[in-house]
Amino acid sequence: MDAQLTEDKQGRRAVTNPCLAPCPIEQGMRILGGKWTGSILWHLQGEPVRFNDLSRLVGGASKKMIAERLRHLEAHGLITRRVLSTAPVSVEYVITPHGRSALGVLDAMRRWADERPALDNA
């Protein structure tokens, strides 16, 4: 049930059904809202991508940051990590059906951001 703000006859306000845990929007933002997370997931939508190729695609992020974000996405079931039996060993990342379901949200966010003026310190 949603939280509601009520007011009594004396004008005092009270909340019924307060949010005691993160709401679904906040939970989603905690998963998708990390720096570079959406970009990484977006670049995985077409086909499996090797780690070094992904680091080239997301040029503004360090390899350490990309590795951290990939672990985060994998922990939440949005991507899977596959170790390839090549010499030297390579790793590629694949979006899962659960991760694919987030692409609509990311696309809507992209369109929303395109409609507003650019921020200087984004």
Contacts of 119 (CB under 8 A, 6+ apart): none
CATH number among 1.10.10.10, 3.40.50.1820, 1.20.140.90, 3.50.50.60, domain 23-114:
1.10.10.10
Q: How far is the first Cα of the chain from the last one, in angstroms, to the nearest whole number?
A: 35
**Whole-Å CA distances, 31 to 5, 23, 74:** 28, 13, 11
Tens digits of residue pLDDT in 43-98 = 999 999 999 999 999 989 999 999 999 999 999 999 999 999 988 889 999 999 99
Buried b (16+ CB within 10 A) or exposed e, 26-55: eeeeebbeeebbbbbbbbbeeeebebeebb
pLDDT of residue 121: 57
pLDDT of residue 24: 84
Determine contact, residues 91/51, Cβ cutoff 8 Å: yes
- Tell how strand 90-95 and strand 49-50 pair up: antiparallel
